[in-house]
Amino acid sequence: MIAKLVEQLLKELGEDAQRQGLERTPERVEKALRFLTSGYQMSVDEVLNDALFVEQYDEMVVVKDIDFFSLCVPGRQIVNAVGGARPARDIRPGDRLWTLDEGYLKETAVTMVASRKTRDIVEVRTTSGRFRLTPDHPVMTESGWREARDLETGTKVEWVNPKSLCREPHEPKPGYALGYVLGAVAADGRIQDGRRINVVVKSAAFAEKYRLKFAEAFPSSAPAVECVTVPSGFLKKKIPMFRVRTVSRAIGEKLCRWLGIPEQGSRSKTKSFGFPRVVTSSADMMRGFLDGYCDGDGYTAGAARYIVSSNRNFLSALAEYLQTPVAKTGTDDRARIYVSGRWDQPGWYGKHGFRQQSEFYVPVDSTYATVVAVRRLPKPKKPYTIYSFKCEPYPTFLVGGHLTHNCEHHLLPFIGKAHVAYMPDRKIVGLSKIPRLVEMFSRRLQVQERLTTQIANTLNASLQPRGVAVVMEAIHLCMLMRGVEKQNSKAVTSAMLGSFRSRPETRAEFMELIKSSRGLVM
């Protein structure tokens, strides 16, 4: 069948497929394509599992200069452009698209746009929306890049709320004020739909202090204190209260992620939040958290302060940190812990005092949406036009908030060298199996970025080492022969897992070991 299609292709190009020199070309092309894509007939079990064994060796294993070749793949339809979502057909070189880099929102520029026709489209439906792709279009999942057709119900796909793309960033300022806000919201706050932060209290002084600390923690915000009335089930009447309300998805999402609560729906924090470890990044921030919580849902008895809550998980975690017991308060489900005025002093009754358990961090912009269904659309009479974008400095972009990746569809090879390393944790694999693994994944329709992560993720899953590193350098014939026609361009991609990502010295050692090979791609 492939040979017949190649023969028809030659005729469409104006050639005589039966002339001397071309009469056997269709079958040669079929044979070559089957060889180039033979990786589909190989499996990880065949390549690795029969060569895994235990060995007491814990130094770095590096296999470098592995030659490979592969083929590029396709396309796109609708994207999240900077300034608002737009149809792919309206995207032009120079336009900017939203993308994610390690979970954080970034902008990337379109440098090339290509299009083609197809009747083969899949629709992916997630808990956060739906989008349409070609079956082989890569989508970022919790375990790495996967083609759209391989997504399954329950797969988690990296996602960012598209409504947040044009919002003010509201960068938080670490310190006492932010700790106080977290404590007050945990004690007396409510966050609705991840964006409406309400604190309603009886004390005007507490409301005003919270307002001031909120404005200090998020300098671009300006909350106000409002006088409201709230119905009391106990008193059977409305009572006067003070409310501080802020509407901001940027702030609400950060507070939800620090407190470990869902961002969707209307939820009270009373029984669902967790102890935000970020407050242990500094003594001032921890002190602010304790003051904010005590002012909201605690009390003072002489020189002693007590935190009260029905959230046993939170109280247990905080009590463990403060090295103090959890005590019952009465017959209901509430409990309390004692907060000493000297909680931060090392050696006070043999306790460790303040102890940093977290660096200050701002929660990432992205989260994960769960795949609900994947279906192939019925083939239409008129083919779809799909679009492919080449972007820099990030080759990825968002579709309906979902992170995707693509490369121009030319069915032209990219060739180069792969360098693979891992840090064993008792289990090692025969060295010859690593080039075979590279060969298996490269002999498929590929993009270089996905090829890199597939190799890294597979080694990581099979060996469970302390770390995996993969660097790939390649020349893409689609860049040499057409489009930009850059004869000296090559692409370098990397994937670092475990100790190679977390330890700069390990990563530097690996890069030094492969240095002598860099620049020798043929």
pLDDT in tens, the chain (522 residues): 778 887 887 777 777 778 766 777 788 777 767 766 676 676 767 666 665 655 666 677 777 776 655 544 333 455 788 888 887 778 888 889 988 887 788 888 887 776 667 788 888 999 988 888 878 788 888 877 788 888 999 999 999 888 777 666 678 999 999 999 999 999 988 888 888 899 999 999 999 999 999 999 998 888 999 998 888 777 778 889 999 999 988 898 889 989 988 876 545 555 678 999 999 999 999 999 999 999 988 888 777 789 988 888 999 999 999 999 998 877 677 889 999 888 998 888 888 889 998 888 888 788 889 999 999 888 888 877 777 777 788 878 888 887 877 544 444 455 778 899 999 888 888 888 888 888 888 776 666 777 888 889 888 888 889 999 998 887 765 544 444 444 445 667 788 999 998 888 898 899 888 875 444 332
Q: Which two tokens stand for residue 383?
A: 């083919």
For residues 187 and 327, membership in a common domain is answered with yes
Q: Which one from 137, 170, 402, 476 is the annotated catalytic residue?
A: 476
Task: Give catalytic status of residue 407 as yes or no.
Answer: yes
Asked if residue 214 and residue 332 are part of one domain, the reply reads yes
User: Is 171 within the bounds of a domain?
Assistant: no
Domain co-membership, 205 together with 324: yes
- 476 is an active site residue: yes
Residues 443, 455: Cα–Cα separation, whole Å = 13
Place of tokens 């690795």: 48
Annotated catalytic residue within 72, 294, 391, 478: 478
Q: Which of 409, 439, 446, 449 is catalytic?
A: 409
* Inside any domain, residue 166: no
Model pLDDT for residues 201-229, shown as the tens digit of each residue: 999 999 999 999 999 999 888 899 999 88
Q: Assess whether 46 carries a catalytic annotation.
A: no
In a domain, residue 182? The reply is yes
Same domain, yes or no, for 82 and 133? yes
Same domain, 299 and 317: yes
In a domain? residue 138: yes
Q: For every residue of 11-78, which 3-state class applies, written as one string?
A: HHCCCCCCCCCCCCHHHHHHHHHHHHCHHHHCCHHHHCHHHEEECCCCCCEEEEEEEEEEECCCCCCE
d(CA 503, CA 495): 14
Domain count, the chain: 4
Rounded distance between C-alpha atoms, residue 150 and residue 138, angstroms: 10
If you count them, how many residues does the chain have?
522
pTM assigned to the model: 0.56
Residue 361, in any domain of the structure: no
Q: Does residue 511 lie within any of the structural domains?
A: yes
pLDDT of res. 383: 79
Structural domain boundaries, residue 513: 38-72+410-517
Residue 170: the pLDDT is 74
Q: Residue 490: exposed, middle, or buried by beta-carbon count in 10 A (0-12, 13-18, 19+)?
A: middle
> Are both 65 and 91 inside the same structural domain?
no
Judge whether 408 counts as a catalytic residue.
yes
- Whether 391 and 99 have beta carbons less than 8 Å apart is answered as yes
- Say which of 402, 410, 419, 446 is annotated catalytic: 410
CATH of the domain at 271: 3.10.28.10
The CATH number that applies at residue 423 is 3.30.1130.10
* Same-domain pairing of 50 and 100: no
**Same-domain status, 203 and 303:** yes
CATH of the domain at 149: 2.170.16.10
Per annotation, catalytic residue among 147, 439, 446, 448: 448
The answer to whether 448 is a known catalytic residue is yes
Q: Are residues 49 and 83 in the same domain?
A: no
Q: Are residues 382 and 449 in the same domain?
A: no
Task: Identify the pLDDT of residue 413.
Answer: 59
Q: What is the pLDDT of residue 51?
A: 58
Asked whether the beta carbons of 414 and 491 are under 8 A apart, the reply is yes
Please report the pLDDT score of residue 175 as a whole number.
94
The question of whether 409 is a catalytic residue gets the answer: yes
Catalytic residue of the set 158, 294, 407, 419: 407
Q: Is position 166 annotated as part of the catalytic site?
A: no
pLDDT score, position 275: 93
32 and 45 share one domain = no
Does residue 49 sit within a domain?
Answer: yes
Is the sign of the CA dihedral 177, 182, 187, 190 positive or negative?
positive
Is 36 within 8 Å of 446 (Cβ atoms)? no
Assigned domain for 143 exists: yes
Does residue 335 share a domain with residue 281?
Answer: yes
| Active-site hit among 408, 439, 449, 473 | 408
